[in-house]
Amino acid sequence: MGIDIKDKDTAPVIDFVNVEQLDRLQRIIRLQRWTNIPYTEIKTFVHCVASAGAEVNTFTINDNTLRALGVYRYLSQRYTVSVEEFSAMVHHLSVHRVGQAPALYDRVYNSDRLFNDALTLDGSLFKLDARDDSDLIAVHKVCASLGVLNTPTSFGAMSQRIQQYLTPKKDLATFSSFYRQARLARLFGLSVLDMYQLAELLGGTDYIKQLVSPSLRASGSNAPADFLDVLMQMDWAVQWFSDAGTSLQTVRRQLLLDAVEAENGAHAYLQPFIEHLSALETYALPDESFPTLSQGEEEELKKTEIH
């Protein structure tokens, strides 16, 4: 914040660059007292919310801060999520350690129990489908750290969405996006693929983009839907599925968003036959391939027919 403590006539004096710094400080102190969240975590929370907002280069406490605080309080009562994790989902994983405690980024990706070498943030391109050793090791570390499988419906699904909305690099934005998607799926008890399908059902590709690269709308505005709206709507949908005794897959089939399988698995038995029948057409000879019989040859052929 650019705050210095100077000695002036034997009495310490706090030297602020501007009045806005003093205002931010007193607001942070008040928030800490009201929420009982440690100073370092509430400051990170405010910073992440401000960074995800539409305002550029501002570190202000506004209605988005209060909205985010309300969503966090609500989700923390229904699920298991810390303010540090919520802040990372809103923006980026924290890379700054506090005291002897490692930073959240290191706790997620650089566990001593899993790896000898750290997953470094060097900003190089991250080829998610590459086969060279460097990128394969990074993919393995991401999967192991987040507890996801390197399959098309898990890590592959996340990679596909990240490539749509980000330029994959070995940087904080990419690794935070992987963390956000895996953490949200686990938070709501969904698979990664189900999470995308639910987001698409609620708000189309705009909602999927919020899971990959979240943003908050401009302060004082009620539209468009932002990351906080997506979280609340997904929570509502998951709870509704549970209360109604149904599932996302059932609702998608009822809305004809997924193909409905034929009863008794008949389609599964018929499909190979249909495929073989279609293949036979490529071997069938056209009529022009056979020689034309003369009238005499046709009469001789009729005599040999068995009646």
* 246-293 residue pLDDT tens: 999 999 888 888 765 444 455 555 666 666 666 555 555 555 555 666
C-alpha torsion sign, points 221, 223, 224, 229: positive
The pTM score is 0.78
pLDDT per position as a tens digit, 138-170: 999 999 999 999 999 999 999 999 999 999 999
Is the pLDDT at 5 greater than 70, yes or no? Answer: no
For residue 105, with 0-12 CB atoms within 10 Å meaning exposed, 13-18 middle and 19 or more buried, which class applies? buried
> Would you say 94 and 105 are in contact if contact means Cβ atoms under 8 Å apart?
yes
More confident residue, 228 or 58: 228
Is the pLDDT at 304 greater than 70, yes or no? Answer: no
Which letter does DSSP use for residue 161 in this model? H
Percent of the chain with pLDDT over 90: 53
C-alpha torsion sign, points 184, 188, 192, 194: negative
Q: pLDDT tier at 1 (50, 70, 90 boundaries)?
A: very low
What radius of gyration, in Å, describes the C-alpha atoms of the chain? 30
Is the pLDDT at 296 greater than 70, yes or no? Answer: no
Is the pLDDT at 9 greater than 50, yes or no? Answer: yes
End-to-end CA distance of the chain: 105
The pLDDT value given to residue 289: 52
Residue 301, C-beta contacts closer than 8 angstroms, at least 6 positions apart? 293
The pLDDT value given to residue 264: 46
Residue 84 CA: distances (Å) to CA of 90, 173, 296:
10, 16, 95
C-alpha torsion sign, points 249, 254, 259, 262: positive
More confident residue, 71 or 61: 71
pLDDT per position as a tens digit, 109-125: 998 776 778 888 999 99
Q: pLDDT tier at 105 (50, 70, 90 boundaries)?
A: very high
Strand partners, 12: 7
> Structure tokens of 184?
């949200």
> Considering the chain, what is the average pLDDT of its residues?
84
What is the Cα–Cα distance from 165 to 180, expressed in whole angstroms?
Answer: 14
> For the ranges 53-57, 142-146, 191-195, which has the lowest average pLDDT?
53-57
More confident residue, 13 or 271: 13
The pLDDT value given to residue 76: 95
The pLDDT value given to residue 293: 61
Is the pLDDT at 171 greater than 90, yes or no? Answer: yes
The pLDDT value given to residue 111: 81
Is the pLDDT at 16 greater than 90, yes or no? Answer: no
More confident residue, 131 or 216: 216
The pLDDT value given to residue 7: 61
